Amino acid sequence: MSQRPNVPHSSSVAFGHHSHLLVSRGIASIVAGCSTHPLDLIKVRMQLQGEAGAPNPAVQTARPALAFQAPSAAHIHVPPPRVGPIAVGIRIVQQDGAAALFSGVSATVLRQTLYSTTRMGLYDILKKKWTDPGTGNMPLTSKIGAGLLAGGIGAAVGNPADVAMVRMQADGRLPAAQRRNYKSVIDAISQMSKREGVTSLWRGSSLTVNRAMLVTASQLASYDQIKETILSKGLMKDGIGTHVTASFAAGFVASVASNPVDVIKTRVMNMKVEAGKEPPYSGALDCAMKTVRAEGPMALYKGFVPTISRQGPFTVVLFVTLEQVRKLLKDF
């Protein structure tokens, strides 16, 4: 009597496929996040420039050169000089060494594991469900909708790691006595929970969710759309050249769309809340209004150069790594 061939159950095949998707997205996200971490740190430092109460980058480590000035001039507000990304990077290395460019990298690993794996995995699931079986394509509006939903859920999951990352990256700009000196992302989350309550881990979560929705919708949807256009018009073959072109364009779109929200998110997450004192910002809108009033509307695009410098390579590394890992897992 002939035996039936051992055919894998459809549910186990589906589970294996989804686990491969999550693994590939997790690996790609962590590689991209760690390799572009110094640019992200510089971006955070630039976004905090000019903030009320922020140390002046020009005199932060020098003795108080203006201590002798006349009292009558004390009330005059002189905006601190804007420092570019290269100068910020050089100053960090000079003050704290090259390793300081990777401050908070443990939080980046956790953030990418939670946030990026969730948003990209969910986007892929929605993409498969909403793709037209006849044409094999997904309408742009559906891609944007999938990106908005996936980004929002991913951000809510990864917010504690995001808060820890911003604080660890920003810590080095403060005088030594005022630094939080978190040892790792676990230490940061533990200290925040003890000193400020568990809710502090979701500080700025509305901004994180809004930013993630914008980034995911613009980044993933535009990558898929540009890649499909390149292939359908026969401009390039499906290879690394196409992936790099589509991913860099997607990174630019994501940077333009998300930078204003990112500036506000960074400032709200980094603000120091002390018992008995009024916090610097009552919320996202208050932070946006105070920032624009004090520094002008273009303050919302502070750190744009390092943002695009980071978002471009990040998106390229993310999608190129993803496509390569995808091929390896298929072969495996």
Report pLDDT digits (tens) over 25-37. 788 888 889 998 9
Confidence tier at 80 by pLDDT (50, 70, 90):
low
Q: What is the pLDDT of residue 77?
A: 45
Does pLDDT of 76 surpass 70? no
Residues 118, 112: Cα–Cα separation, whole Å = 9
Average pLDDT, integer, range 281-296: 91
Q: Is the pLDDT of residue 10 over 80?
A: no
Instruction: Give the pLDDT mean for 63-77.
Output: 41
Contact 305, 85 (CB under 8 A): yes
Region 130-154: mean pLDDT is: 89
pLDDT (0 to 100) of residue 59? 40
Confidence of residue 160 (pLDDT cuts 50, 70, 90): very high
Q: What is the pLDDT of residue 158?
A: 93
CB within 8 Å of 311: residues ≥ 6 apart: 251, 252, 254, 255
Least confident span in 148-152, 176-180, 270-274: 270-274
What CA–CA distances, in Å, run from 69 to 50, 75, 232? 21, 11, 67
Roughly what angle, to the nearest 10 degrees, separates helices 140-170 and 37-47?
80
Q: Taking the complete model, does pTM exceed 0.85, yes or no?
A: no
Q: For 142-152, what is the mean pLDDT?
A: 93
Over residues 90-131, the pLDDT tens digits come to 999 999 899 999 999 999 999 999 998 899 889 988 988 888
- 101 with 94: CB under 8 angstroms? no
Q: Are 104 and 168 in contact (CB under 8 A)?
A: yes
Residue 5 has what pLDDT? 52
pLDDT at 79: 52
Binned at pLDDT 50, 70 and 90, residue 153 comes out as: very high
Q: What is the structure's pLDDT at 60?
A: 41
pLDDT of residue 332: 54
Secondary structure class of 132 (helix, strand, coil): coil
Which range is least confidently modeled, 78-92, 148-162, 205-219, 300-314?
Answer: 78-92
- The overall average pLDDT reported for the chain is 82
**Residue 185's pLDDT band (cuts 50, 70, 90):** very high
Rounded Cα distance, 228 and 79, in Å: 47
pLDDT at 324: 80
Q: Among residues of the chain, what percentage have pLDDT more than 90?
A: 39
CA pair distance 302, 46, nearest whole angstrom: 6
pLDDT-based confidence at residue 329 (cuts at 50, 70, 90): low
> Residue 331: which pLDDT band, with cuts at 50, 70 and 90?
low
- What average pLDDT does range 245-268 have in this prediction? 91
